[in-house]
Structure 1
Amino acid sequence: MPAPVAAGKTALSVGEVARRCDIPVSTVHFYEAEGLIRSGRNKANHRRYSRHVLRRIAVIKVAQRTGIPLREIRQALAVLPEDGAPTALQWRAMSRQWQALLQQKIADLHLLQQQLDSCIGCGCLSLSDCPLRNPGDCLADGKASGHGGTGMAGI
């Protein structure tokens, strides 16, 4: 069970956190269940959050918007303090963890953009023949299941 939280201006209710972060209460609970944020409890056993959770949620939202998986977000947040504002050095350490991942996503999107240009007028008219969706005709060879394989669907 989470530790009690002292009453005061820094302790926020789940509704206050949701409102200030512009997310549903259920998302606040989800982030907590996923270990991305933590809460304490007041004497009435209601969740209470530190004001620092607002910054953590802002980082989570930005990371999700760029397509960073929750697993990667959780790992990056692990270098930041849960009970206080991070230092500039801690922020840099966290952001470095995402640099390679973001660079790979950018490269993948550039490649997709180039491949889509060749799709206009391609004439394949079939997912099974599409060089983006089915490169090397791996579906015909039985090398891929066709679900979540390589190509455009994986991006």
Structure 2
Amino acid sequence: MTRSRFIANRLREVLLNGHWVANTNYKEQLQSVDWVQATQKIGKLNTIAALTYHVNYYLAGILNVFNGGDLEIRDKYSFEMPPITSETDWKKLSNEFLMNAEKLIHHIEKLEDQKWDTVFVAKKYGTFLRNMEGVIEHSYYHLGQISLLRKLNLERTT
């Protein structure tokens, strides 16, 4: 198996269809909540919608690089989510997340193996491999939060 296929499979697992590490994935979690649950605030914790926006912000930014653009994302903007006030708003966000995940995975599958050890955008960001491993780790971190928030939301409504 090539490195590109390996990394693409790891991303696909956390984002779209895996169960091995977390026994769930983003697609499963996002499709199992409605907009009210996604925006339900619990104390000072982020909402499911905010975490979805946050991870999607990074997916979209990295996807822009794979599409030949610049790395324009900045941490300070990664939670600046527009209001979610309807099921339509929530579906738009969650569908955009899933589409960006598919597109990024597609780009990664096509990446030549020697590219993994080259600089990603600028030396300060490290290699392509380091960045994609970071995306995987970051995604699992927030997937755990989303899973927990979903369970807490369910407890509050029963």
TM-score, reference length from structure 1: 0.31
Larger radius of gyration: 1
